[in-house]
Structure 1
Amino acid sequence: MDLIKSLFISASGLKAQNGRMRVIAENIANANSTARTPDEEPYRRKIPTFESHFDKEMKANMVELGRIAEDTTDFKSVHMPGHPAADEKGYVLQPNVNTLVETTDMREAQRSYEANLNVIDTTRKMLQRTIDILRA
């Protein structure tokens, strides 16, 4: 039945967006973390990816959270001579996390999550109406 299939497809979207929001939350939580020593790198931003796979049982394409990639952009450098992770010139490497970008990504993930939730809710209502019609 196509309605049941739409429930499973939307559920896979919910799960994928939930994983995406977890990665974004980790990025935001570590936006101001630094290394402990000058030799170490600070937190490196993570980028969630998605993968599509064909579910033979449902005969439909499903989405899932794929590999979590690392952002290879350069770290920011801030002059903090008293910091334990400062180099010989007094600069400390900061994570390559832009909280504005992360907040925007989080909002987009939240909207995608809500859209999938709305599909599930609408499908559930349609199934309930179908059952009600069959009972009458």
Structure 2
Amino acid sequence: MDLIKSLFVSASGLKAQSGRMRIISENIANANSTARTPDEEPYRRKVPTFKSQFDKELGAKTVELGKVEEDTSDFRSTFMPGHPAADQNGYVLQPNVNTLIETTDMREAQRSYEANLNVIDTTRKMLQRTIDILKA
């Protein structure tokens, strides 16, 4: 039944967006995590990817969280001569996390999550209405 397929497809979207929100939360939590020594790198931003796959049992495409990659953009540096991770010039490398971008990504992930949740709710109501009609 196509309604059941829509439930499973939306559930895969919920799971993928949930994983995306977890990764974004980790980035935000580590936005100020510097290294402990001048030789170490600070926290590097993680970027979630998605992959689509065909579920033979369902006969439909689903989505899942793919490989989590590291953002290769440059670190920021801040002049903090007293910091343990400061180099010989007094600069400390800062994570390549921009909290404004992460907040925007989080909002987008939340909206996608809510859209999948609305599909599930609507499908559930349609199934319930069908059952009610068959009872009558």
Secondary structure of 1:89's aligned partner: coil
Alignment partner, residue 104 of structure 1: 104
1:93 aligns with 2:81: no
Over the matched positions of the two proteins, sequence identity in percent amounts to 84
Give the count of matched residue pairs. 136
- Residue segments in structure 2 that go unaligned for 5+ positions in a row: none
Task: Tell me how far apart the structure 2 counterparts of residues 116 and 79 of structure 1 sit (CA, whole Å).
Answer: 45
Q: Deviations over 1:21-65 (max 9, x none)?
A: 000000000000100000000000000000000000000000000
Deviation of 1:15 after TM superposition, in Å, equals: 0.1
List 4+ stretches of structure 1 deviating above 6 A: none
- Residue segments in structure 1 that go unaligned for 5+ positions in a row: none
Deviation of 1:2 after TM superposition, in Å, equals: 0.2
Task: Tell me how far apart the structure 2 counterparts of residues 85 and 49 of structure 1 sit (CA, whole Å).
Answer: 31
Q: Deviations over 1:99-133 (max 9, x none)?
A: 00000000000000000000000000000000000
Give the residue type in structure 2 aligned to 1:91.
Y
Taking structure 2 as the reference length, the TM-score comes to: 1.00
Task: Tell me how far apart the structure 2 counterparts of residues 113 and 73 of structure 1 sit (CA, whole Å).
Answer: 28
Alignment partner, residue 75 of structure 2: 75
Task: Tell me how far apart the structure 1 counterparts of residues 55 and 128 of structure 2 sit (CA, whole Å).
Answer: 26
Alignment partner, residue 131 of structure 1: 131
Give the residue type in structure 2 aligned to 1:102.
E
Task: Tell me how far apart the structure 2 counterparts of residues 83 and 116 of structure 1 sit (CA, whole Å).
Answer: 46
Task: Tell me how far apart the structure 2 counterparts of residues 59 and 128 of structure 1 sit (CA, whole Å).
Answer: 23
Give the residue type in structure 2 aligned to 1:6.
S
Alignment partner, residue 12 of structure 1: 12
